[in-house]
Amino acid sequence: MTSSARIEGDLREKILTSPDIVLEDADLMRALVAANERAMGANIVDLRGIAMDRLEQRLDRLEETHRSVIAAAYENLSGTNQIHRAILRMLDPIEFEAFLRELGGEVADILRVDAVRLVLESPAGEQDQALNRLGDVLSIAQSGFINDYLTEGRNLPVRQVTLRQMHEGDARIYGDKGSYLRSEACLKLDFGEGRQPGLLVFGAEDPHQFTPQHGTDLLAFFAGVFERSMRRWLS
């Protein structure tokens, strides 16, 4: 032991005074453990070192999970605030024309979507002259159009919220703007007994903004508030 090298000077004194600085340095501890294994020789199995390695791997996985949970919670909180702001803006207008303008303007900006469309069904499917002055947000479709659009003509159950990617937006809903859109959120609306259903559609140029893997709780809440707002205009 007398031939072993010693750490001299201020560094040795600092380590003796505050050994925690060594224990808290992961890279330094790895180097010390590796040196200890080399000193024991190749025929010695260090079970304590193996256990430490496994604990370190578990800690790394736990930290990664912790970061993912925090990121998801932050994203969820941000999305909740976004929906709340859009709803408050949507509730401001007292006239239907202003309501639709806000829907295609400020509400769309808050939700960060590139297109908003409201589709109402009518038995005749005719565009009334009085609706032409309401801009391009509102359109009238024949009865059955909404279910057919949501299921793409297949025999599938209709969900309240449908998120999907697409090659381009349907021109019947988006018009000329549809060629730029790559994903959409479709919110089916129930206006009450005896009334035709409606459809609120958000279109986005980003193909990853709306995908089937995303949660729909916030959009379902938005659809519920929108339904109740629309009932006062339809009454």
**pTM > 0.85:** no
pLDDT tens for each residue of 203-214: 999 999 999 988
User: What is the rounded distance in angstroms from the CA atom of residue 113 to the CA atom of residue 116?
Assistant: 7
Three-class secondary structure of residue 117 per DSSP: strand
User: What is the rounded distance in angstroms from the CA atom of residue 63 to the CA atom of residue 69?
Assistant: 10
User: Which segments of the chain belong to CATH 3.30.450.40?
Assistant: 82-234
Tokens of 208: 């990853």
More confident residue, 173 or 72: 173
User: What is the rounded distance in angstroms from the CA atom of residue 218 to the CA atom of residue 227?
Assistant: 14
User: What is the rounded distance in angstroms from the CA atom of residue 94 to the CA atom of residue 18?
Assistant: 69
pLDDT tens for each residue of 50-69: 666 777 777 778 887 777 77
User: What is the rounded distance in angstroms from the CA atom of residue 198 to the CA atom of residue 210?
Assistant: 20
Give the architecture (CATH level 2) of 82-234. Answer: 2-Layer Sandwich (3.30)
7, exposed or middle or buried, with CB in 10 Å at 0-12, 13-18, 19+?
exposed
Tokens of 172: 């019947």
The angle subtended at Cα 153 by Cα 150 and Cα 159, nearest 5°, is 30
202, β-bridge pairs: 116, 185
pLDDT tens for each residue of 98-111: 888 888 899 999 99
Number of C-beta neighbours around residue 151 at 10 A: 14
- Return the percentage of the chain with pLDDT > 90, whole number: 31
Residue 182 above 90 pLDDT?
A: yes
**Mean pLDDT calculated for residue range 147-176:** 90
User: What is the rounded distance in angstroms from the CA atom of residue 151 to the CA atom of residue 142?
Assistant: 16
